[in-house]
Amino acid sequence: MDHSRTEQMANRRMASVLSHLQNSVVQDEGRRSIPLVVPTSSPIPPQDSEVSDESQPPYSADEKPKLKWNGWGYEGTEFDLNDEGHIYLAGERYTMDSHFPNFRPWLESTIEGIDVDETSSMRDTIICPPQVRNEQFIKAISDGKCGEVSYTEEERVIHGHGQTLEEMFTLRNGQFERVPDCVVWPTKHEDVELLVKLADKYNVCVIPFGGGTTVSKAVKCPEDEKRMIVSVDMRKMDRIKWVDRSSLLACVEAGIVGIQLEERLSELGLTVGHEPDSHEFSTLGGWVATRASGMKKNVYGNIEDILVHCKSVTPMGTMEKNCYGPRISTGPDLHHVI
């Protein structure tokens, strides 16, 4: 082998990588900044060097679009027929052309026997099963230490199902036998630790909730569960705590929605490299929990190929690996369990 030629190729590749990283730093000038910490040695900044939570507050409930209680997506967005009988997309969320004059002819010519004018009945009122209350637990979280709490029937129903066809049919035409008894929105890691600790103390069932896009029935409540069920909505934990350009790592909270994460990273000329079909609704924590795949997997891999480290709250305490490398040769791997 010609070692000098091999060395030249290696040098060219390294120069290309360095040039890319240097150029990306220059391109970031003038953009809205995201708090950055670039460590000098370890790729994972020590605890005291992380960006403060208060420097990048989570989105408020008023800023976040409201999910429909009786279907997929956000309120105000739906397909309908205009006066000419053409299908259009109602709502103001999307800037794309909302009228699709060729959509109806395509449906009618492709799907035998379909009648676009035919409408199906759909319940327009919320039917919610009775609430199970654990008064000791309710009192313990009433001071807001674990985050905002809601006991409304609308929030309970929204957080009581995923997006399988069976769940959608039940939502629109039937009745769920069991839904969460309350919903909690933690805003930081300590909120989750306290919430899980109290749930364990008072024998309360906890179900985490991200974007609600699951098709594995992961957020559906067991019908025979007699304990109080609490849905923990993670979407207020949506901060990017730091970005390390040297190793191209970022520390991100689990509740950030995919499209929100991509928009923030794109301002720095970066990408997370994961884009499932549910990108607009699903969360980073949901991707990790379901070992999600996406449309860019052939370039960046699935989420388990992208994840380097995570910190998880359990009834036994907070668990995390000591090794911060993307792969290790000893097992079992805690991330696979998570």
| 315 or 6: which leads in pLDDT | 315
Res. 219 pLDDT band, cuts 50 70 90: very high
Plot region of 144 (φ>0 → left; ψ -120 to 50 → alpha; else → beta): left
> What is the structure's pLDDT at 76?
81
pLDDT in the model for residue 181: 98
Q: Which residues contact 209 (CB under 8 A, 6 or more apart)?
A: 159, 183, 219, 231, 232, 233, 234
* 24 token code pair: 């990306």
d(CA 271, CA 262): 6
Residue 317 amino acid letter: G
Give yes or no for a contact between 77 and 89, defined as CB atoms under 8 angstroms apart. Answer: yes
Structure tokens at 87: 């299908």
pLDDT band at 40; cut points 50, 70, 90: very low
SS3 label, residue 146: coil
Tokens of 200: 């364990």
Give the model's pLDDT for residue 125: 84
Residues 124/69, Cβ–Cβ less than 8 Å: no
pTM of the model: 0.77
What's the rounded Cα separation, in Å, for the pair 51 and 270? 19
Domains of the chain: 32-58+238-337 (3.30.465.10), 76-121 (3.30.160.650), 135-233 (3.30.43.10)
Lowest mean pLDDT, pick from 95-109, 192-206, 318-332: 318-332
Query: Contact, 295 vs 276, CB < 8 A?
Result: yes
In 49-124, beta strands by DSSP E = 78-81, 87-90, 99-100
Give the H or E element holding residue 182. Answer: strand 182-185
**What tens digit of pLDDT does each residue of 187-200 get?**
999 999 999 999 99
Q: Which residues contact 79 (CB under 8 A, 6 or more apart)?
A: 87, 88, 89, 90
pLDDT given for residue 212 in this prediction: 92
- Of the candidate ranges 1-15, 101-115, 179-193, 197-211, the one whose mean pLDDT is the lowest: 1-15
Kindly report the number of other CB atoms within 10 A of residue 63's CB atom: 7
In the predicted model, is pLDDT for residue 90 greater than 80? yes
Chain segment 7-24, per-residue pLDDT in tens: 555 555 555 544 444 443
Q: What percent of the chain has pLDDT over 70?
A: 79
Instruction: Give the pLDDT confidence score for residue 251 in this predicted structure.
Output: 93
For residues 54-58, give the mean pLDDT: 48
What are the respective helix, strand and coil percentages of the chain, to the nearest 5?
A: 30, 15, 55
What pLDDT score was predicted for residue 130?
Answer: 95
CA pair distance 176, 157, nearest whole angstrom: 8
Dist CA 51 CA 45 (whole Å): 10
Evaluate whether 245 touches 38 at the Cβ level (below 8 Å): yes
